Amino acid sequence: MPDPHVYDQPGRTDTVHGRTVPVPAGPSGPAGPPGPPDELTTLLRDTDFWSDGMVRAAGIPIVDVPFVTVGGGLGSFVTVDYLRIAGVPADEIRVLSNLDYPWQTYEYLTRVSQIPGPERIRSDSSSRPDNIWGFPSYAVGEAWRERTLKPLWEVFTEPLIADYWTPRVGAVFRGLEREAKRIGYPDMLSRGLVRTVRRRMDGGYFTILTPRPGDTTTQPTAYRSQFVHIAVGYPGLRFLPDLQALRLGAGDYHHVVNAYEPHEHVYQHLMTAPGTVVVRGGGIVASRVLQRIMDDRERNGAQTNVVHVFRTFVRGPQGPHPWLRQPGGDGWAYQGFNYPKSVWGGQLKAEVRKLDGEARARAYHQMGGTSTPYRRTWQRQLAAGRNGGYYTALQGAIEQVEVNPDGRLRCRIVGENGAREIHAEYIIDCTGLQPDITHHRVLKDLLDHGGAGRNPLGGLEVERHFEVKGTASGNGALYASGVATRGGYFPGVDTFLGLQIAAQEIAEDLARRGFARPLTVSRSTRQWFNWLLNRPV
């Protein structure tokens, strides 16, 4: 299970992009404590299908609403946005979440992983979670606000002349806040921790929402619905076993940190005295952490040495075919986005949609792997570090970490050139978030009691329209989107555009079932003008 100490306790706040916000808590996001005590009776816990009488006998009040979405993050938001634009009234939708606003977890993670408001994230200009049409794009919006053609020129010339253009994270949050108000999102939100989703004997589902820790004003509630959508994100943070053992055994959460948890103390300490930091990982977060360290050297006079450990050291372009070849070098694999662009609407999307079993797994293996965008700024910084002797990249795995008597860490790294010891003040683990769905209470319960199964990569097995296979209940349907469905018929699920594509597929299936209206050309055009003028749906 994820280390509970990586989480901030509920009720705490943090300064994020210049304002004080609550720290996300709970199982619907990667920054939350273990779940609340079990309020369910033994009968409810052990029964796959519930009757209305069973729920009432347990003393749990029932609330009726046609559509429930569990999670309340960006996956829930884009799905609700699409349904509202498609004509579903707000009182027929209920968002069950421990979050106060949809982008809260994402805002928190970008902050702690060294992406402040003015910095840019790894996303395409037209991938707008606040705008299902993608026009005007982020680049057009920035060009208009700043009265400059530079963003448009970069989009036009990417990636041959300019780096891929990507939006500033602050602009993303502003757009999300505007759209949430426009569609009445706060009125659809019920705050709490989702305990379980179970099938109802007469069709549909019961979703149990329990109070958040410290909340004494509410009680567990059963939401009875025909449709349920689950978008709960990552279950938690991921640590190497030896790093986890040091944190738990020695109680040291100060010197070994995950890049997705608060670790500003690392950079602050390295500003005051020379030191060595071990960075592990080869993705976008590792590149952002390294840029922060190098910025401190250039701008503030820090004297930090970096030992960068790659599990897989990339020495040049790689890939099975010329049209799937990925540039790389110096340890890194370079790619503008998480996947090739055609997975969102081109050849690869169409190809994977036809694959099953091992053939689908092989397609993911050919496309995927850890990568980061090529950025000229930090390429220059790393080149200077290699020439100056304060940045060393090597292939290997951290097999043992111990604390020296002087408080420094002794790391044993085993790689292609044998074993070596590194003495460092800190280790920053940039290997990402925990993707295993069995580490999430709601998803594991679906596997155990909801009829759900796993796809070739271990995610929830979903249909092409994102209904979770095996979970149908009478005239009801259960859908899922986001990283929990990785390995399905659509590869780019854990992206802005991927969440919107999933939302479109779900909304179209709901329209076929008679719940939502089809988004016709005329309705879409009217709604786009409503969006442009910031008028309610």
Per-residue pLDDT of the chain (537 residues; tens, 9 = 90+): 233 223 333 344 444 434 444 444 443 334 344 444 557 889 999 999 999 999 999 999 999 999 999 999 999 999 999 999 999 999 999 999 999 999 999 999 888 888 877 888 888 888 899 999 999 999 999 999 999 999 899 889 877 777 788 899 999 999 999 999 999 999 999 999 999 999 999 999 999 999 888 777 778 999 999 999 999 988 776 766 667 777 776 666 788 888 888 899 999 999 999 999 999 988 888 999 999 999 999 999 999 999 999 988 888 877 666 666 778 888 888 887 777 777 787 788 888 888 888 898 888 887 766 788 888 888 899 999 999 999 999 998 888 888 888 888 998 898 887 889 999 999 999 887 777 888 899 999 999 999 999 999 999 999 999 999 999 999 999 999 999 999 999 988 888 999 999 999 999 999 999 998 899 999 999 999 999 999 999
Gyration radius of the chain over CA positions? 24
Q: Using an 8 Å Cβ cutoff, are 423 and 268 in contact?
A: no
Query: 163: how many CB neighbours lie within 10 A of its CB?
Result: 17
Contacts of 439 (CB under 8 A, 6+ apart): 1, 2, 235, 236
Task: Report the alpha-carbon distance of residue 466 to residue 437 in Å, rounded.
Answer: 16
d(CA 180, CA 468): 27
Going from N- to C-terminal start, the domains of the chain cover 4-32+41-236+436-530, 239-315+371-431
Name which CATH class applies to 239-315+371-431: alpha beta
DSSP 422: E
Q: Where are the alpha helices (DSSP H) in 408-491?
A: 441-449
Residue 126's pLDDT is 87
Give the model's pLDDT for residue 323: 61
pLDDT of residue 426: 94
| Residue whose pair of structure tokens reads 């349904």 in the numeric block | 83
Residue 208: its H or E element: strand 205-210
Q: Answer yes or no: same fold for 4-32+41-236+436-530 and 239-315+371-431.
A: yes
Q: What is the C-alpha to C-alpha distance for residues 10 and 496, in angstroms, rounded to an integer?
A: 27
CB 222 within 8 A of CB 208: yes
Return the CATH class of domain 4-32+41-236+436-530. alpha beta
Q: What are phi and psi of 200, to 5 degrees?
A: -100, 140
Given a contact cutoff of 8 angstroms between Cβ atoms, the answer to whether 155 and 125 are in contact is yes
CA atoms within a 13 Å half-sphere pointing along the CA-CB vector of 35: 20
SS3 category, 116:
coil
d(CA 116, CA 111): 6
Cα dist. 235→4, 33, 71, 417, 527 in Å?
11, 11, 11, 35, 35
pLDDT of residue 249: 66
Q: What is the pTM of this model?
A: 0.87
